[in-house]
Amino acid sequence: MKKHNYSAGPCILPQEVFEKSAQAVLNFNNSGLSILEISHRSKDFVAVMEEARALVLELLDLEGKGYQALFLQGGASMEFLRVPYNLLKENGKASYLDTGTWAAGAIKEAKAFGETIVVASSKGENYNHIPKQYEIPADADYFHCTSNNTIFGTQMKDFPNTNIPIVCDMSSDIFSRQLDFSKFDLIYAGAQKNMGPAGVTLVAVKEEILGKTGRAIPNILNYQQHIDKESMYNTPAVFAVYTSLLTLQWLKNLGGIPGIEKINEAKAKLLYTEIDRNPLFIGTAVAEDRSTMNATFLLKDETQAAAFDKLWKDAGISGISGHRSVGGYRASMYNALPLESVQVLVDVMQEFEKTIS
Amino acid sequence: MKKHNYSAGPCILPQEVFEKSAQAVLNFNNSGLSILEISHRSKDFVAVMEEARALVLELLDLEGKGYQALFLQGGASMEFLRVPYNLLKENGKASYLDTGTWAAGAIKEAKAFGETIVVASSKGENYNHIPKQYEIPADADYFHCTSNNTIFGTQMKDFPNTNIPIVCDMSSDIFSRQLDFSKFDLIYAGAQKNMGPAGVTLVAVKEEILGKTGRAIPNILNYQQHIDKESMYNTPAVFAVYTSLLTLQWLKNLGGIPGIEKINEAKAKLLYTEIDRNPLFIGTAVAEDRSTMNATFLLKDETQAAAFDKLWKDAGISGISGHRSVGGYRASMYNALPLESVQVLVDVMQEFEKTIS
């Protein structure tokens, strides 16, 4: 039976990516060698890294605008540390928007470095919305936000105007919707949602914001070092970078971000319409802040959970149990999840309504 | 034609590992899902992580001795930073042995943190040997060494006795030879030689040495955080950990480290015997410090290089060009390189001798 994988991340990637990357594990570029055993300095892999870095900037429409794309290791959690190391001045201050668990994690690492101001937080309402009214200190070294909150199913639709650099953790919605990415001075994203397998992190940084802190930066944490070494300061995560390139190529062939955005909007509309229509369910995020990537919802009557769970499991759906912070269900609809899978879930919700009434 | 992959890393892994990991990319554990799309919190992957962590301690004979094994990200270069963050006291000092490019890299990161003493260095002789006569300050917080120097083809055969914690970067010879691993308080190794693909780093640490610096440690760099979260502080490199587990299982089935050590010694003996016998070649490392993993050698007459290069390429050999720091040739004979591949290289060297004379 076909599986409908709603996992929140690591998550579904395009089927053709699985096939091509499995083939590369056996025989990469018809070289007779596995992608796992080739040197990262080999001509074939250098070409992969160069194409991947260029394709990131092309898809984000950041070409020729002073940005560099890097494929680093350590996940978004490592960028929580690299960002203040590279941008927070010795006696400066940072400003952060607290919209969920991961935003809070970024704030925690920054606080160990220096003055860190939280401009607004929705923690008191269990992060069910994105704060809108806040002021960003004009003298802060940067403003940090999280574009999509995987756990709570919220997503920033607008971003503030400010003269200070904007840093955005886009781990769970990068490459999913059209934005003016040049509004951001530094974007980072763990690969394992819309870009590739776990084990590589994308960074797109406007080079001119670097080198201004007066702080000594360890080499491995220094973005400028990684830029100077063309993202090969040390051995990169070869397989994860290659699989990311395959996913980016798939996206380009689909029409890039404008192409996938239409599909993502259709998927989100289909599911949220059912959540709102079906009397047995209720969404947890404030409607205007609902994420197109992660839809969080509850059964109004939790005693019905076992019966509902059996239905979706029988339909081949996996990965929609909610995070413990919210409970209920979380349907993650990343780029590679087909509309057909969302239809299967909606059908299950409607079938469940019939069996209950 | 069969390839003989002498790449210095990433490097050859066992053929059965390529086959099993390619299969897992298509269908992991017969789940109908790819290893690339499953949650790191799924039962199946938690079992992988637990088995991999336990197998590391079993193979190194560190079970029940207070050690924890972790699978982290960032390569050995990230451990160059994590080590002083976790072990170097606020006003303490560290001691390092300088045996090559990577040892020097570790020293550079440590120096940014505090007083760092280099107890000895072979840099003046282009790192062609391991310094033997040196004193380790008894009041240093730890002593750091590099067990095998990939670029220069040297390997530590003995390790100093000291009462302070010993930290060892074993990236290029871990799991290759029998040692009393309990002599070391912290061992780390980038996976991409004897353990798995690039993108994951093994750390085995004696837990009692942690938490003594008085230093605030960023969460992502804090070994104790990773231990407390059972190596899932953040999303691990799922595929790289799984492939490492397959390689560790292969090693266990071969008889563990005692089993592979015999094979590695036979390979090294075969090649070094030929280097010493063949009048056209000369080894670059001092004989007593020669590495069983990386044999570095030169043509006595460099004008013969094109002719020799053609021969080994025609024989299906790849990856034996030397590092620019040493020149000539470097034959890396990691665990998964078959003895047969070494025989092919030796045959080529003998054939070359005949064509020249």
**Which residues on chain A are in Cβ contact (under 8 Å) with B26?**
18-19, 22
> What is the separation of C-alpha B345 from the centre of its chain, rounded to a whole number of angstroms?
23
CA-CA-CA-CA torsion sign (B164, B105, A198, A189): positive
The answer to whether residue A83 scores a pLDDT higher than 90 is yes
B267 is catalytic: no
Do A220 and B318 count as a contact with CB atoms less than 8 A apart? no
Residues A333 and A275 sit within 8 Å (Cβ to Cβ): no
Name the pLDDT band for A75 (thresholds 50, 70, 90): very high
> What is the separation of C-alpha B191 from the centre of its chain, rounded to a whole number of angstroms?
7
**Residue at B263: amino acid letter:** I
Query: Which residues in chain B come in under a pLDDT of 70?
Result: none
Name the pLDDT band for A356 (thresholds 50, 70, 90): confident
Task: Return the pLDDT at B67.
Answer: 98
The enclosing H or E element of B270 equals helix B256-277
Residues A238 and B13 sit within 8 Å (Cβ to Cβ): no
| pLDDT, tens only, A316-334 | 999 999 999 999 999 999 9
Q: What 3-state class would DSSP assign to B303? A: helix
Task: Return the pLDDT at B159.
Answer: 98
The enclosing H or E element of B253 equals helix B238-253
- B173 labeled binding residue: no
Mean pLDDT score, A187-202: 97
Q: Measure B356 CA to nearest chain A CA, in Å.
A: 30
Q: Locate B155 and state its tokens.
A: 């390997």
β-pair partners for B118: B96
Name the pLDDT band for A37 (thresholds 50, 70, 90): very high
Task: Return the pLDDT at A357.
Answer: 76
The answer to whether residue A292 scores a pLDDT higher than 80 is yes
Greatest alpha-carbon pair distance for chain A in Å reads: 66
Task: Return the pLDDT at B111.
Answer: 96
Q: Locate B232 and state its tokens.
A: 């899932």
Round the average pLDDT of chain B to a whole number and report it: 97
- B41 labeled binding residue: yes
Mean pLDDT score, A198-204: 98
Phi and psi at A250, nearest 5°, equal: -60, -45
Determine contact: A237 vs chain B, CB below 8 A: yes
B193 is catalytic: yes
Residues B35 and B24 sit within 8 Å (Cβ to Cβ): yes
Phi and psi at A173, nearest 5°, equal: -145, 15
CATH superfamily of A256-356: Aspartate Aminotransferase, domain 1 (3.90.1150.10)
| % of chain B with per-residue pLDDT over 70 | 100
Rounded CA separation B94/B103 (Å): 13
Pick A237's closest partner by Cβ from B198, B234, B319.
Answer: B198
Q: Which fold has domain A15-253?
A: Aspartate Aminotransferase; domain 2 (3.40.640)
Task: Return the pLDDT at B210.
Answer: 98
Task: Return the pLDDT at A331.
Answer: 98
Residues B283 and B299 sit within 8 Å (Cβ to Cβ): no
Q: Which of B21, B16, B13 is nearest to B48 (CA)?
A: B21
Do B39 and A221 count as a contact with CB atoms less than 8 A apart? no
Residues B4 and B316 sit within 8 Å (Cβ to Cβ): yes
Name the pLDDT band for A1 (thresholds 50, 70, 90): confident
Do A218 and B109 count as a contact with CB atoms less than 8 A apart? yes
Enumerate the CATH 3.90.1150.10 domain ranges in chain B, comma separated: 256-356
Enumerate the CATH 3.40.640.10 domain ranges in chain B, comma separated: 15-253
Mean pLDDT score, A244-262: 98
Work out whether strand B201-206 and strand B67-72 pair parallel, antiparallel, or are unpaired.
antiparallel
Per-window interface: A 180-199 vs B, CB < 8 A:
190, 192, 196-199
Do B18 and A26 count as a contact with CB atoms less than 8 A apart? yes
The enclosing H or E element of A151 equals none
Catalytic pick among A98, A102, A173, A250? A102
